[in-house]
Structure 1
C-alpha cells in the first residue's frame, strides 16, 4: 500500500512508539519513511546495555546454553530447562528494571575454590573422627557439608562447555519477545548497533520529554541529537556521555535533576530553568558551596535529611550580592526543620505572630544585608512534605 506524505505523517503521529519502532525494524521501506519524520518520546531511560522507551524495555545480555555431560548432567539440564542462563556483563540492567531477574552464574576463580574445597574436606574429616559430639559440632558438620556441596557445584559448572548468544529482550505491559544471535562480536558493539538502528540516521532531532541517564551508561553514538525538556542524571552517570545528545541549538532544559554531592558544574545543567538537587546529609556550611551553581532557580529535595535544608538556607541568607535568586526546599513534616527555618529568617514580631496564629500558607518579607528583599513562603504540599520558598529580590 502506498500512502502520501501527509497520510504517513498522520499515521506516525497517532502510532505509539513501540509499534512505530517495531514496524520500522521489520520493514526496510517503512524504516526509511519513519526516520524522515520527527520521533517524539515521553520518557527515555538510558542504562548500561539497554534503555526504556515509553514503558518498553530494550536490553541486551548473554544467553548461555550448556552442553550437558553424562557424569554430572543435572546442573546443565536444569539451567537449560529453565530457559538457559540469561545475564548482562555485570547484571546491573536486570537489577535496575526488575523484570525476569537472571539466574546468577558462577564467574569466580577455579583455583581459589579448589583450595577452599580441600580445606573444607580436611576440616570435615577431622570432625567426623570425634566420637561424641554436641549440638554445636553437629551444626558445624552440617554447615561444612553444605559448603562443600556448593563449591563442588561451582567447580563443576566452571568446567562445563556451553554456547553463548547475544540476546535482545523487548518487554512491556502488552508484549514480550526475544531475539537471539550467535555471539560473534563484543556486546558493546552489539549495543552500539542497537542504538544506531533505533536512534541513528534520523532527519530530525529526537524530541524527548523526560530523559533519564542512569549510572553505568556509556554513549556509543556521538551523532544522535535530542531536544530534551527534563533531564535526570543519576549519581554515577557521567556528563560526558550525556552532552553528546545535545546540540548547540538545543533550548535550555525546563528542569535538570541530579544529586547535590554528585553535581559538577556543566553548561547543560547550569542553563536549566530549574535545577533540582537531591540532597543527602549537609551538616555544615563548609560542605556547601553556592558559587558552583549558576542557576537562579533551585529546588532542594531534603525530605529525608534533617537540618540539610537549614544549613543550605543559612548560606543563602549570608549572600552579600543582591542577585535575583530563588530557592525552594522540600522538607519533612516530622523533623521540625521548617520550624527552625522560620525562626531563623523571620524577625521577632513575625516569629511571634506566626507561632501564635499558626496556619499554612504563610508569607513574609524581610530586609537583607545585601540590600534586597527576602520573600519567605511556607506551605504544606501533603501530609509528609512542607515546601519552603526563599526568593531574593534586588
Structure 2
C-alpha cells in the first residue's frame, strides 16, 4: 500500500492531541517537521521544573556528569550509584568537583535563588587532611573487625585518638570497605594535582529519560558544563514555540536556584504547586506565567513563608505544607493570614490540640475570619475532634449537634459548620498526611 504523507493542516491537528513526549521524539527524529511541531500549541498535563531535570507528564528528563573509569580501576560503589543519573556538578582537570553554574545567568533563565551562593571548596589542604584522617579511621576499624584478637594500642597518643574511631566501629565489613573506596576516590584529585596526572576516568554528559520502568540513556562528549547541558535540553523541549505551553499542573521544585529555560518561555496554568520561599521567587515565577489565567485555581506554599503575595492571596484554593515539620506553628494566626475561599492545611499537624482547634473555630464565631474562607486539615486521632466538640458544647450557645458535625450561628448571622469525615482515597491520604485518619472541616454557610 502506498503511504500518503499527512498534509500540513492535518499534521497540525494530529500533533495538537498527541502526547508531548511523543512529539519530542518525532521532532528529534524528523527535523523536517520540527518547525511545524513548534507552531502547534503544546499541552502538558503535569510539568515539573528543577535545576537539572524536567518532568513532562510521566516522563523525566535529567542531565548529569557520568564518570567512565578506566578498565583496570575499581569503581567505588558510591560512584556507581551516582552514575545512574550522573552528578549535578562539573569536574576540573584534576577531578575536583566544581559547581560552575552558581553565578551564571543566561538569557531566558529564571533566577529563584541567589547568585551570591558559594560552593564548598573541595581542593583545600584542610579537606585533604580530613579525608586522610577519615581513611585512617576506616582502615583501622576494618583491621580490628577482621582481626578480633588484635591488641588495642596502649600508648597515650593512640588512647587520645580512640574517640575518633567510635563512629565506624559498629559498621559491617562491607560498609567499611565502601567507605574506604569512596574516601580513596575523594583523595584522587589531590594526587592528580600533586603529580600533574589525569584522573583515571573519562567524563561524559549523560541524558537520562525515564518513563515508568523504561529508562533510556544517552552520553555525549564532555564539551559543555552540566548547566549548559540543562539549558540545551530545555531549549529543545520548549524553545522556539509560538504560543505559551498549556499546563494542567506546574510544579517548581523547592531546591532549585536557577531554572535553565529558553528565551520567551511562558506557561498557561491554573495550578501552581509546592513552592518554598515564594516571597523571594514571586517576580521570577510570575514572569513566566500567563497573567490571563489569574487568579489561579490552586497554589501550594510552605507554612514558614510569606502569605501576602497577590498570586497567593488571590488563589481560589490555598494548600499549605510542612505542618507536620514546623513545630512552633499556631493554628489561629496561620488561618487569620488566609483569605482564600478554600484553605487546606496539608500533611500531618502533629501537635494540634483540641484547644488549638477551638481557638481556630472561634475566629469564625467572633467575626475575625471571613465567612468566605473554609479550612480543612488532617486529624490523626478521632478523640481530638471529640474533645473539640466538648469544648464547643461547653463554650458556645445555640449549637446543634449530629454524630460528626456541630453547627452554630456567627456574629454576622451565618451558620458555622464544624465536621469531620474519614479519609477514603489515596489522594486524600497523600494530601493530609499518612498519619491522618480524618479530615476536619470548618466552613460558614449563609442562612
2:438 aligns with 385
Measure the CA separation in 1 of the matches of 2:213 and 2:319: 34
In the TM superposition, what is the alpha-carbon distance from 1:52 to its structure 2 partner?
1.4
Where does structure 1 lack aligned partners over 5 or more consecutive residues? 91-106, 132-136
In terms of mean alpha carbon deviation, does 284-293 or 51-60 score higher? 284-293
2:260 aligns with 220
The 1:30/1:306 distance shift into structure 2, 3 A limit, reads same
1:267 aligns with 310
Measure the CA separation in 1 of the matches of 2:414 and 2:296: 28
The two structures have a TM-score, normalised by structure 2, of 0.67
1:170-189 to 2 correspondence within 5 Å?
A: 170-173=209-212, 175-189=214-228
1:1-394 to 2 correspondence within 5 Å?
A: 2-69=5-72, 73-75=73-75, 86-89=85-88, 109-118=127-136, 128=150, 143=169, 147=176, 150-151=179-180, 154-156=183-185, 158-159=187-188, 160-173=199-212, 175-217=214-256, 218-221=258-261, 223-235=264-276, 238-278=281-321, 279-280=323-324, 285=330, 288-290=333-335, 292-301=337-346, 303-307=348-352, 310=357, 313-314=360-361, 316-317=363-364, 320=367, 323-332=370-379, 334-345=381-392, 354=401, 358-360=402-404, 362=405, 364-368=407-411, 371-382=412-423, 384-391=437-444
* Larger RCO (CA under 8 A, 6+ residues apart): 2
In the TM superposition, what is the alpha-carbon distance from 1:258 to its structure 2 partner?
2.0
In the TM superposition, what is the alpha-carbon distance from 1:74 to its structure 2 partner?
3.4
The 1:312/1:60 distance shift into structure 2, 3 A limit, reads farther
1:104 aligns with none
In the TM superposition, what is the alpha-carbon distance from 1:224 to its structure 2 partner?
0.9
The 1:74/1:348 distance shift into structure 2, 3 A limit, reads closer
The two structures have a TM-score, normalised by structure 1, of 0.75
- SS of the residue aligned with 2:416? strand
Would you say the 8 A contact 1:60–1:169 is kept in 2? Answer: yes
2:119 aligns with none
1:134 aligns with none
1:93 aligns with none
Measure the CA separation in 2 of the matches of 1:231 and 1:84: 32
CA deviation map 1:83-102 (0-9, x unaligned): 96643227xxxxxxxxxxxx
Where does structure 2 lack aligned partners over 5 or more consecutive residues? 90-121, 154-161, 189-198, 425-436
